[in-house]
Structure 1
Amino acid sequence: MKTLFNTKNIIRLLAVLLITFTAISCQRDGSVAEDDLPQEELTNIILLVKEDTPGATAIEYNYSIGAGGIPTIPLKDGKSYTVEAKFRNGNEDATQEIIDAKDEHFLIFDFPKSNITVTRLDGGDLRKDGKRVGLKTKWDVTQTVGGTAPFLKLTLIHEPQSVNDAKAGTAWGSVVGGETDAEATYNLSN
């Protein structure tokens, strides 16, 4: 009688399982081609921060993914700022790809050691569910430094099942499901 669990059959089964696991784990939802903005293609997240006062100009804070170094954004307590998020792939602007696939993206602004209110502004990033991705926001700063080493953690989520733009803990925005497309950290100071 031929045995089902001989060494040759076990090796074949392990090989099939390994190949299957590798194929599944390397894809998000069935195909890499379905992802409009592969994580490995984003190289920079840039915040253009402009104080809401007459004559103010936007200042660029460039976070380079994987390069080390964290930009510091100075914010004044009691002031408001208009902030635009831009995404780059090398020299190419990838922000339009996010706008084109706005129903598949959402930004979370987490200020764990500051008291800052975030309002998402009108723009081309209105999703079908009525929420905005968050590419343009207004920050009302009550207190920039509410603890040691304050910072912003900005996270771009891909294909969340649902989104909420309300404050959740220290973050403005939350999601159910989805994966991180990109993440950046910015130090904050007065």
Structure 2
Amino acid sequence: MNNLFNTKNIIKLLAVLFITITVVSCQRDGSAEEDDLPQEELTNIILLVKEDVPGSTAIEYNYSIGAGGIPTIPLTNGKTYTVEAKFRNGNDDATQEIIDAKDEHFLIFDFPKSNINITRLDGNDLRNDGKRVGLRTRWEVVNVINSPSPFLKLDLIHAPQSVNDAKAGTAWGSVVGGETDAEATFNLTN
């Protein structure tokens, strides 16, 4: 009986418990199988930017997650643009998965060095709380460059407890709770 409770056995047991607790606590709420869009599966965030004038075409700006390099989006003060956000997992379009689980997602558009107004447009991303995820937006550009090196930080939030699409500081949209499914940075210029 003394061998069962000796110091070596107690240390081994504590080590196993520590490793188990560490592994469990580092996981997201719910397993990857339960998450409709696991963070590890998104490889690209694409913005299709189209100036709101007749005959204009959308230009694609592709942010590759973890690959380095930041796309630069040229915008003009006083102009308006329609912007569509697309999400990819390799060659597969993951945007429909976000639409299918729209009540579990929300986009935050943060322009910390610009003055750009955002309106979330009609589409198939209306959540049960009456808010839109933000997959299709209109950008009214007041001033692209309010300070040096302007950029957009775009966050896809998973499972927020509540969302607000109003401007909060420099960001359009805020959440209570949730976790970041994906994040992208786009440089801005004019």
SS of 1:33 mapped into structure 2: coil
Aligned length: 189
Q: Which runs of 5+ in 2 are unaligned?
A: none
Query: 1:18: Cα distance to partner?
Result: 1.4
Q: Is the 8 A contact 1:83 1:137 kept in 2?
A: yes
1:111 aligns to what?
111
Task: Give how far 1:4 is off.
Answer: 6.1
> Counterpart in 2 of 1:63?
63
Is 2:13 the counterpart of 1:22? no
Shift of 1:113: 0.6
Q: Which amino acid aligns with 1:144?
A: V
CA RMSD in angstroms comes to 1.5
Q: Which residue of 1 aligns with 2:171?
A: 171
* Residues 1:159 and 2:159 are matched in the alignment: yes
For the residues of structure 2 that align with 1:64 and 1:151, how far apart are their CA atoms? 16
* Corresponding position of 1:82: 82
Q: Which residue of 1 aligns with 2:72?
A: 72
Aligned-partner Cα distance in 2 for 1:61–1:30: 32
Q: Matches of 1:96 and 1:55 in 2, distance apart?
A: 27
Report the Cα distance in structure 1 between the residues aligned to 2:146 and 2:137, rounded to whole angstroms: 21
The structural deviation recorded for 1:5 is 7.4
Q: What secondary structure does 1:46 align onto?
A: strand
The DSSP-based 3-state class of the residue aligned with 2:33 is helix
Identity %: 74
Moved over 3 A (4+): 1-5
1:182 corresponds to: 182
CA distance, structure 2, for counterparts of residue 133 and residue 181 of structure 1: 13
